[in-house]
Structure 1
Amino acid sequence: MNQSLKNPQMKKTLIRITLWMLLATVAGCILFVGLSKLQAAQMMRQNIAMAGRMSTEDDAQNIAKLFTDPISEQDYEAGKALLSPYGVNVEMDPSLYQPYQSLLMQQLIGFCFLMLVLWGIVMLCCLRGMHGIFSQIRSLSSRVRQAADGNPKMLPAINEGDMQSLENSINLLVERSGFGMESLQADKMFLKNLLSDISHQLKTPLAALQLYSDLMLDHPDMEPAQREEFLQQSSQQLARIDWLIQGMLKMARLESGSILMQRKPTSLSSVALSAMSPFQAMADLKKVSLVSQIPDAISLNIDAEWTAEALGNLIKNALEHSHQGGHIRLTAKDTAMTVQLSVIDDGEGMESTELPYIFERFYRKQSQVKSSSVGIGLSLAKAILAENDADIYVKSAPGHGSEFVITFLKKSF
């Protein structure tokens, strides 16, 4: 209660109530004085009429009736004629009439006492009510400060009304701020990990480029064949850096929602051929058979360009893990609920312990993945397919190759 009394709003409210009560008391006193003058005139008229009847009547019973019967004009005129010579009439100053003064004083004292009691009751009710309101406000303020300090907590239920509405609004604010802070922390952690991963991924190709350039500068008389080999190695490292940067830009655009998939009915076979085309030369160099066995009749409502990008990443991954003379097949199965697209290779395969991590960004097996790999292709493929309402998983075993299965739900077509 003491804390509430120190509240400036509480003080202002109590002062306003006191001023209004004082104004009401003054107005009531003025009204009482005005009404008492009318009462004094009525009492004087009654007394004048009584004096008039007493001057004309000897019968005590008739005189007593004047206390209960209405005043007659005859009695009043008789009394007026009797008392006027002495200055007694209804227009005389009420202050000269002692019964009036006594009655007025009693009424004013009673009215002021009543107003004082009423003021006390009003002040007590206001103190109790406002103390409860300010206590709730302090509690709400404390919860808001906790939310601002990173410790959001939902508020307990309060009685219905405006405070309930305020509580609901603050709960909504706390909930959203909590989500916002969690999202901010996640974004900060994501950015930290991303910068760390990019730094790590760029370190190797940049170091190789620096080494090749230093060797060629330090040995201007280097054999042309060796210089050409260094230039080819530098070109490969530059291609690796370009792949990393392009992949990260695509991932950033996908995660920010700035890419709008242009979906339309598309032949799955044509998308597969478009994805295979850039890797046909690489497959020929490794003597790997790269074929599509997807029926022409299968059509999906997808973004053809981005889906081809995702398939291309899966094909590139399969080529990197295939041996000389290996086989890579693209197949599709049309079921009642789904269309399943598979990229199958007979390469080196993977351990079961690796399968949960292969779609993570920059994940790769250092012992088996070629140095040109940056470990972003599968993560990018999964993100693209998710934007096309498709899911992907892998089946693999060491020495038996891998099968990446993409599942499109027909209800999303």
Structure 2
Amino acid sequence: MMAQILLLLAAAVLLCVSVMLFFRTRKTHDRLDNMIDCAIRGEFQPTRYDESQISRTEQKLAQYLSASVLSRTSLDEDRARIQSLIGDISHQTRTPIANILLYTSLLDEEPLTEEQHALVKQACQQAEKLRFLIDSLVKTSHLETGLVQAHPVTSPLAPMLESLYQTYLPASQDKNIELTVAPTTVSAHFDPKWTTEAVGNLIDNAIKYTPEGGMVQITVQDAPMYCAVCVADSGPGIAETEHAKIFARFYRAPSAAQIPGVGIGLYLTRQILRAQNGYIKVSSAPGKGAVFSAFLPKN
């Protein structure tokens, strides 16, 4: 009988301890949950320090949040300085570059030797390259800092693709490249200005890397949630090991060293698509051309 009583007492004590531990754990959990909610809202303040484990955790969280705020503030200030610097560079170089292009154009009309004309042409090409680089840096900086945002609207893709076809047709004809656009009735949710820039970069690259007599085809693939504007070329192709690298800023594959470019077009295209909840993919292999697909949301 005594053994049963002791067993019942032990069970009661164990139950009481379990209940106390449960409520203590629940209280600690609720306090931690409240700390995290306050931190998310930016309202966290540590309570009175009392040497407990939860109090030490509060102090550490406060120190971490304080350091995070300082780091974020420093990062924002650095971005603002970079944005200001790029803006100043763009403003200060726009007129000199325009003058260089004007003077080289006038000089090219003079009675020069063949070698002199070639040098003038090279100077003009380098000035155009510099202007493109600065313009691309400004656009990229605006997108990255949120200074300029995409404003997507639901629109048919056909007018944009037809406009791009007319824009790049002369460049394709200069290289005897067959440029085609497949008819489409698909609509997507996109910013017309920025998306024209993005797809234009893909077409420009396709023409640039396709040898004379090749083909560049623009098609649209439809799906329930996304549609893809695909630019396929008959160029040299891209090794699989380069697929991820080519979207990095200023990266140029070793095989592209002899082709004019600065390595920022694909990076800018990716940033533009990301700003519209889209993305880009490449399918390619050496000797088999490349297909770049710009995916745009349907709604």
TM bucket normalised to smaller? 0.5 to 0.7
1:170-189 equivalent positions in 2, closer than 5 A: 171-172=61-62, 174-175=64-65, 177-178=67-68, 180-181=70-71, 184=74
Q: Name the residue aligned to 1:306.
A: 194
Q: 1:175 is matched by which residue type in structure 2?
A: L
The alignment status of 1:379 with 2:231, answered yes or no, reads no
RMSD of aligned alpha carbons: 3.7
Whether contact under 8 Å (2:208, 2:259) holds in the other structure is no
Q: 2:276 is matched by which residue type in structure 1?
A: N
TM-score norm. by structure 1 comes to 0.49
Give how far 1:267 is off: 1.3
Unaligned runs of 5+ in 1: 1-154, 199-205, 217-221
The alignment status of 1:262 with 2:151, answered yes or no, reads yes
Q: 1:240 is matched by which residue type in structure 2?
A: K
Whether contact under 8 Å (1:237, 1:372) holds in the other structure is no
Q: Distance in 2 between matches of 1:347 and 1:186?
A: 42
Q: Name the residue aligned to 1:320.
A: 208
Q: Distance in 2 between matches of 1:346 and 1:179?
A: 51
Which is richer in helix? Answer: 1
The alignment status of 1:292 with 2:164, answered yes or no, reads no
Q: 2:127 aligns with which of 238, 260, 270?
A: 238
Q: Aligned pair count?
A: 232
Q: Name the residue aligned to 2:27.
A: none
1:358 aligned counterpart, secondary structure? helix
Q: 2:138 aligns with which of 249, 273, 278?
A: 249
2:144 aligned counterpart, secondary structure? helix
Q: Distance in 2 between matches of 1:274 and 1:157?
A: 66
Whether contact under 8 Å (2:177, 2:216) holds in the other structure is yes
Give how far 1:181 is off: 2.2
Whether contact under 8 Å (1:294, 1:330) holds in the other structure is no
Q: Distance in 2 between matches of 1:266 and 1:258?
A: 24
Unaligned runs of 5+ in 2: 1-45, 90-96
Q: Distance in 2 between matches of 1:246 and 1:279?
A: 19
- Once the two structures are superposed, what CA deviation does each residue of 1:248-286 show, in whole Å capped at 9, x if it has no partner? 010011111011222222111212223333322111000
Whether contact under 8 Å (2:279, 2:296) holds in the other structure is yes
Give how far 1:329 is off: 1.0
Whether contact under 8 Å (1:303, 1:388) holds in the other structure is yes
Q: Distance in 2 between matches of 1:247 and 1:263?
A: 21
Whether contact under 8 Å (1:275, 1:309) holds in the other structure is no
1:216-231 equivalent positions in 2, closer than 5 A: 223-231=112-120
Identity of aligned residues (%): 27
2:201 aligned counterpart, secondary structure? helix
Q: 1:407 aligns with which of 289, 295, 298?
A: 295
Q: Distance in 2 between matches of 1:371 and 1:356?
A: 20
CA 1:277 to 1:157, structure 2 compared with 1: closer, same or farther past 3 Å?
Answer: farther
CA 1:371 to 1:237, structure 2 compared with 1: closer, same or farther past 3 Å?
Answer: farther
Give how far 1:180 is off: 4.6
Runs (4+) of structure 1 moved beyond 3 Å?
155-161, 166-170, 182-189
Higher mean C-alpha displacement, 335-344 vs 316-325: 335-344
- Once the two structures are superposed, what CA deviation does each residue of 1:73-119 show, in whole Å capped at 9, x if it has no partner? xxxxxxxxxxxxxxxxxxxxxxxxxxxxxxxxxxxxxxxxxxxxxxx
1:141-180 equivalent positions in 2, closer than 5 A: 168=58, 171-172=61-62, 174-175=64-65, 177-178=67-68, 180=70
1:12-411 equivalent positions in 2, closer than 5 A: 168=58, 171-172=61-62, 174-175=64-65, 177-178=67-68, 180-181=70-71, 184=74, 223-295=112-184, 297-410=185-298
Whether contact under 8 Å (1:339, 1:408) holds in the other structure is yes
2:207 aligned counterpart, secondary structure? helix
TM-score norm. by structure 2 comes to 0.67
Give how far 1:176 is off: 5.1
Q: Distance in 1 between matches of 2:73 and 2:178?
A: 46
Whether contact under 8 Å (2:273, 2:296) holds in the other structure is no
Higher mean C-alpha displacement, 361-370 vs 263-272: 361-370
Between structure 1 and structure 2, the one with the greater Rg is 1
Give how far 1:368 is off: 2.7
CA 1:176 to 1:276, structure 2 compared with 1: closer, same or farther past 3 Å?
Answer: farther
CA 1:341 to 1:229, structure 2 compared with 1: closer, same or farther past 3 Å?
Answer: same
Higher mean C-alpha displacement, 401-410 vs 344-353: 401-410
